[in-house]
Amino acid sequence: MEKVIIVRYAEIHLKGKNRGYFERVFCINLEKALKGLRHELRRTSGRYLVANFEEREADEICDRISRVFGVHSFSKGYRVPNDLDHILEAALLICPESGTFKVDTHRADKKYPMTSPELNAEIGARLLQAHSALRVDVREPQHVVYLDIREDGTALVFGVFEEGAGGMPVGTSSKGVLLISGGIDSPVAGYMMAKRGMEVEYLHFHSYPYTNEQARDKVIELARILSRYTGGESVSTVKVTHIQEEIHKKCAPELNVTLLRRFMFRIAERIAKRKGAKCLITGESLGQVASQTMEGITSSNAVVTLPVLRPLIGFDKEEIIARAKKIGTFETSVLPYEDCCTVFLPEFPAIKPKLSFIEEEEAKLDVDALTDEALSSLERFALR
């Protein structure tokens, strides 16, 4: 008998002839997640088994597995030969001595001499014989003993399906640059794109000395939390103070944020192309703030050629907050440190500015020189 953690993948089984590629990336990501912990990762048909681990590290292994995109579910259990005596031995370890229970069998090996109902009945009867305080309840049991009969002459025996992160393995859907602020929205946006298999690079804009180092450290911490899901290793930061000062001096005040975002998109696209990224990612939600109207979004999109993905575009704030709490970023996001978009914030920002008016005001600035100066301030901060 061998203690194992059984890992089942999500959408990969739908990938047909490309399935092997997705499985390889999935396996690499599992190994990265378990780095530093003693383990052996084995691949079987439709399953991965984590074996040869320290019992005291089992919960940590499960916690890390739960954050790997592509994992549908996982279970602590046992791998045994598929004869009845060995299956019963493991089932006795899974099933409590009292309460209601049932046995639920899945047979990957269709040549096994007993059908699933026959196995359910036989192992159930033996469990009742071993523990007189047990009672069968096939509809709403307190405990379930799951049997998974594999094609290699073994059986997996376990008691609980733990929910995984779902989605697709990170790295199977190209790379994108996330414009990450210190707010609630952008970390959730990065999480959601990583869940669809995208490798996420982090880019943060700051306005030092109007924003302090604590605000920067807050963003680095948000990226560190996100990296448990996305696997990211660093945050790039760019200073835009000089851009904001020029906009504030020379342009219509109601366009302060709109013009700044156009610069952010230009800079982000330049960095994305250097990194081989195929898109930009933002946490924008339609109509949430003045710069996130269709007119504001159109203004930002007009200065870049890369696609801009906005996974939160149809979400309301409560939905975004709920997801931030689920992934563990909310408590950090609400720490009271300002980001660059709050600097020189106009009293009445433009809600539906005309693109012609935006371009007219922007013509008062030396766009190329300001962009180049911002890029020269690029810094990189390691997350681990």
Residues 153, 185 within the same domain: no
276 is a domain residue: yes
Cα separation, 237 vs 41, in Å, equals 37
In sequence order, which residues have a C-beta less than 8 Å from that of residue 344 and are 6 or more positions away? 244, 245, 247, 248, 256
A 10 A CB-CB count for 14 gives 9
Mean pLDDT, residues 5-22 taken together: 88
Entry field: residues in the chain: 384
Residues 252, 334 within the same domain: yes
Instruction: For 175-202, write each residue's pLDDT tens digit.
Output: 999 999 989 999 999 999 999 999 999 9
226 is a domain residue: yes
249 is a domain residue: yes
Residues 140, 211 within the same domain: no
Residues 208, 146 within the same domain: no
Task: Give yes or no for residue 70 having a pLDDT over 90.
Answer: yes
Residues 217, 157 within the same domain: no
Task: Give yes or no for residue 337 having a pLDDT over 80.
Answer: no
A 10 A CB-CB count for 306 gives 17
Last residue of a domain, one of 120, 135, 163: 163
Question: Which residue do the tokens 């979004």 mark?
Answer: 297
Phi/psi at 107 (nearest 5 deg)? Answer: -110, 100
Residues 103, 154 within the same domain: yes
In sequence order, which residues have a C-beta less than 8 Å from that of residue 56 and are 6 or more positions away? none
Q: What is the pLDDT of residue 13?
A: 79
Which tokens go with 358?
A: 């935006």
Work out how many domains the chain is built from and give that number. Answer: 2
Residues 89, 113 within the same domain: yes
The secondary structure element, H or E, covering residue 128 is helix 116-130
Q: What is the pLDDT of residue 373?
A: 97
Domain hosting residue 344, numbered range:
175-382
Q: What is the pLDDT of residue 215?
A: 87
pLDDT band at 10 (very low <50, low <70, confident <90, very high): confident
Cα separation, 189 vs 280, in Å, equals 11
Pairing of strands 279-281, 175-179: parallel
Residues 7, 154 within the same domain: yes
Residue 354's SS3 state is coil
What integer best gives the mean pLDDT of the chain?
A: 92
The secondary structure element, H or E, covering residue 226 is helix 213-230
Q: Where are the beta strands (DSSP E) in 262-328?
A: 279-281, 308-309
Last residue of a domain, one of 113, 142, 163: 163
Residues 187, 159 within the same domain: no
pLDDT band at 343 (very low <50, low <70, confident <90, very high): low
169 is a domain residue: no
Cα separation, 169 vs 211, in Å, equals 36
Question: Which residue do the tokens 């707010």 mark?
Answer: 183
Which tokens go with 168?
A: 């697709």
CATH number for the domain harbouring residue 74: 3.30.2130.30
pLDDT band at 344 (very low <50, low <70, confident <90, very high): low
183 is a domain residue: yes
168 is a domain residue: no
Q: Which of 175, 364, 372, 367 is nearest to 281 (CA)?
A: 175
Cα separation, 29 vs 65, in Å, equals 10
pLDDT band at 85 (very low <50, low <70, confident <90, very high): very high
Residues 74, 124 within the same domain: yes
170 is a domain residue: no
Residues 10, 156 within the same domain: yes
In sequence order, which residues have a C-beta less than 8 Å from that of residue 290 and are 6 or more positions away? 257, 296, 349, 350, 351
Amino acid present at 45: S
CATH number for the domain harbouring residue 301: 3.40.50.620
Residues 225, 123 within the same domain: no
Last residue of a domain, one of 163, 194, 227: 163
- 269, HSE (Cβ side, Cα atoms, 13 Å): 17
Instruction: For 257-293, write each residue's pLDDT tens digit.
Output: 999 999 999 999 999 999 999 999 999 999 888 778 9
The secondary structure element, H or E, covering residue 215 is helix 213-230
243 is a domain residue: yes
